[in-house]
Amino acid sequence: MGVHDPENVVNTDLLIIGGGFGGLFAASKAKQNGVRDVAIVDKGDVARTGQSRLAAGATIYLFPGDDLEEWARCIFLGQKGLCHQDMVESFLEQSFARMRELESMGIVFRKHPETGEYIRLNSRGLVPVKMTIGPTYKKMMGGTALTTVLREAVRRAGVRFYPKIFISDLVVRDGRVHGAVGCHRRSGDFIVFKAGAVVVAASDCSFRGNYCCVEATTGDGFAMAFRAGVDLADMEQMVVNTAPLSYNFEGTGPVAQAGARFLNARDEDFMPQYRPEGSAAEINHIVQAMAREYQKGNGPPFFFDFRMLPEQMEEMFINNFGGWMPRNLIRLKEKGIRVLREKVPWAPALQTLRGGIKTDLHCLSNVEGLFAAGTAQSMGPGLFNGWSSGRCFWSGATAGLSAARYLKQAGAPSPDPGLTQHLRQALFNRKINGDGRGKPLAEITRRLQRCMFAYDTSIIKNQASLEKAATEAAAIREEDLPSAQVRDLHDFIQFKETENMLVTMELFIRSSLLRQESRADHMRDDFPEVDTSWLKWIVLNKDLKKGYCFEELPWEKYRFQPGDLTPPQGKSHD
């Protein structure tokens, strides 16, 4: 493997990086709108290895008769005003069509046996917004069912799949994208994709966190975008969720609404002190309350107490959730662990970065021909039930349609050979040493995690803790990466992922230092107030003079105004 290997070139009209909901809907829409050749590349397998596959499949769909303005207002309030209102309204307007498309592909949504109506639940933090649950396909459920039908649909449409290829960089020259480069994770062969347009639909970053099944999200799309001069926004908006210490569990929203309670080390139900909704509060309020309890000496340990839940809750989870969760519960039950009947040790767990590539309403970035979809695109802060899948469907479909329109008038791509060689050298910046010398990657990852997961880096931040994190990031870059142990190709890809996590960490810290207020998922102990003058986006770009700029929200075209954030009683929503 390395710079002497033969170069593989793939020519395509539209390259989609990432085969999850965003990438699959982008491919589907691009094909429907006349794009001749579409290729999806994935570091795992298309539709089979990403976060979409592992999703529960609950999604916000606005049904005919639902109140769009009311739902849009809920999301605006949920995002504390830092809301791309045009995107949110477009997402809501199109959501029912997306649901119908999925049904036409073969998805069957479960219905109430008595009423025959779709099963809809309140979205935590966004009531009365509702999510529809229970998508099924053959014997599959949830994200497994959704990704399977989408994969079959785009394959039938002639989309080409390139699995197990790690894309390292976008090829951007003269303000336009010309493709991307990477290598095959099993052969190490260098690959150049020449493409008239590119959709980045692969990113999120959990820093291989303790939240369930997020360890493959290593900020690859954020890092490749940043290196290519693409604008990124909202990078300070990190969601720390909660999780059991020893095993995976997802679905805290429904169980909290059913009565489960978070407890501190003194067995106190502490959440009502912080929020009237108690344990059913938004995730950021729960983890911030846990951090406050930690500061008071009331934990760890913390617990999630399920003992008051009805006995049929376990059965409900096994029968109504798709993919890995039912199997997980069955395996735990075999070991005598009845999660939904116990008091389970629990803790904050970093899950997802809400920031990403900054785009317009058409999912176009600041680089010509480069679009973003899925969690690679920034659609504002907040993690609400049914939101992530829905926004990925919307941005995927929008990016695919926009790319199709762009390609009708775009010239052929012409990646400069010198540039691709430069990117090739950058990709293979590490040699594989089979002798085992160097610092194990697992140790470097742990160092990065100890810094990122610290409650005063990712939950309740302050100037000093963020500066300390920045110093630690610089030390990892200068001391650890050059001496990393790279024994084989598996290590090599993990090394590239670690580089990307580090870039993402640096972007998160920089953006967190800049936002001197507390809003949504970003909590600063030294600036605890919500400050209306900070109702603006922090845009990071390596080509900007300072590396960042602030951008005012386009209030003139928005339905809701800053004044709408303050309820009549004068209480802040934070």
Partner 1 sequence: MIESIDPELCTGCGGCDLACPMDVIYMNPETEKAEILYWWDCMTCFNCELECPVDAIYVDPIKNKTPQPW
Residues that bind partner 1 (CB under 8 A): 44-45, 48-50, 53-54, 144, 163-164, 185, 208-210, 212-216, 240, 245-248, 291, 294, 300, 323-324, 327-328, 331-332, 335, 337, 347-348, 442, 446, 449-450, 453-455, 458-459, 490, 493-494
φ, ψ for residue 265 (rounded to 5)?
-65, -20
CB of 347 to partner 1, least distance (A): 5
**What amino acid is encoded at 387 in this protein?**
W
Structure tokens at 487: 């024994």
Diameter of the chain measured on Cα atoms: 69
Give min distance, CB of 292 to partner 1, in A. Answer: 12
What is the DSSP code (8-state) at residue 477?
Answer: I
What is the DSSP code string of 34-54?
T-S-EEEE-SS-TTTSSHHHH
How many angstroms separate the CA atoms of 433 and 529, rounded? Answer: 51
Pairwise CA distance, residues 120 & 106, whole Å: 20
Q: Considering the complex, state which of residue 96 and residue 247 has its C-beta at the smaller distance from partner 1.
A: 247
Q: Around Cβ 230, how many Cβ atoms within 10 Å?
A: 27
User: Of the two residues 186 and 573, which places its CB atom closer to partner 1 in the complex?
Assistant: 186
Q: How many CB atoms lie within 10 A of CB 571?
A: 8
Best CA proximity match to 2, nearest among 185, 170, 189: 189
Ranges assigned E (strand) in 290-360: 302-305, 343-353, 356-357
Rank residues 176 and 333 by Cβ distance to partner 1 and give the closer one: 333
**176 vs 367: CA distance, rounded Å:** 5
- DSSP line for 392-414: HHHHHHHHHHHHHHHHTTPPPP-
Give every CB contact of residue 488 below 8 A, 6+ residues apart in sequence.
Answer: 432, 434
Please identify, using beta-carbon distances, which residue of 106 and 326 lies nearer to partner 1. Answer: 326
Q: Name the minimum Å distance from CB 312 to partner 1.
A: 21
Minimal distance, residue 323 CB to partner 1, in Å: 7
Tokens representing residue 379 in the block: 């659609």
Please, which residue, 81 or 348, has the CB nearer to partner 1?
A: 348
Minimum CB–partner distance for residue 21 and partner 1 (Å): 15
To the nearest whole angstrom, how small is the minimum distance from the Cβ of residue 209 to partner 1?
Answer: 6
Q: Which is nearer to partner 1, 121 or 216 (CB)?
A: 216
- Shortest Cβ distance from residue 411 to partner 1 (Å)? 36
The residue among 1 and 213 lying less far from partner 1, judged by its C-beta, is: 213
Q: How far is the CB of 566 from partner 1 (least distance, A)?
A: 32
Look-up of token digits 């769909």: 61
Tokens of 191: 């690959």
Residue nearer to partner 1 on the CB measure, 95 or 457: 457
What's the min distance (Å) between Cβ of 24 and partner 1?
16
H or E segment to which residue 466 belongs: helix 463-475
In the block, which residue shows the tokens 């790690």? 166
Question: Rounded to whole angstroms, what are the CA distances from 108 to 24, 105, 114, 323?
Answer: 19, 9, 17, 16
3-state secondary structure of 433: coil
**What value, to the nearest 5°, has the Cα angle with vertex 221 and ends 218 and 224?**
110
Query: Measured from the CB of residue 72, what is the shortest distance to partner 1 in angstroms?
Result: 34
User: Least distance from C-beta 217 to partner 1, angstroms?
Assistant: 9
State in angstroms the smallest separation of the CB of 406 from partner 1: 31
Q: What backbone phi and psi angles, to 5 degrees, belong to 198?
A: -135, 135
CB under 8 Å to 139, separation ≥6 — which residues? none
Name the minimum Å distance from CB 38 to partner 1.
20
- Which residue lies nearer to partner 1 by CB, 147 or 518? 147
In the block, residue with structure tokens 């109702």? 535
Closer CB to partner 1, 118 or 161, in the complex: 161
Residue 547 CB: number of other CB atoms within 10 A?
13
Q: Please say whether the beta carbons of 412 and 37 come within 8 A.
A: no
**CB nearer partner 1, residue 49 or residue 402:** 49
Token couple for 178: 């010309």
From the list 124, 312, 354, 342, the residue with the least C-alpha distance to 246 is 342
| Beta carbon nearer to partner 1, 7 or 456 | 456
Shortest CB 490 distance to partner 1, Å: 6
- Yes or no: say if 469 and 232 are a contact pair by the CB < 8 Å rule: no
**Do residues 424 and 169 touch, judged by C-beta distance below 8 A?**
no
State phi, psi for 552 to the nearest 5 degrees.
-70, 145
Nearer to partner 1 (CB atom), residue 165 or residue 197: 165
Place of tokens 């039908």: 149
- Identity of the residue, 25 or 249, whose beta carbon is nearer to partner 1 in the bound complex: 249
Residue 251 is given by DSSP the state -
Select 253 or 348, whichever has its Cβ closest to partner 1: 348
Smallest gap, in angstroms, from Cβ of residue 192 to partner 1?
23
Start-to-end CA span in the chain (Å): 52
CA 393 to chain centre: 13
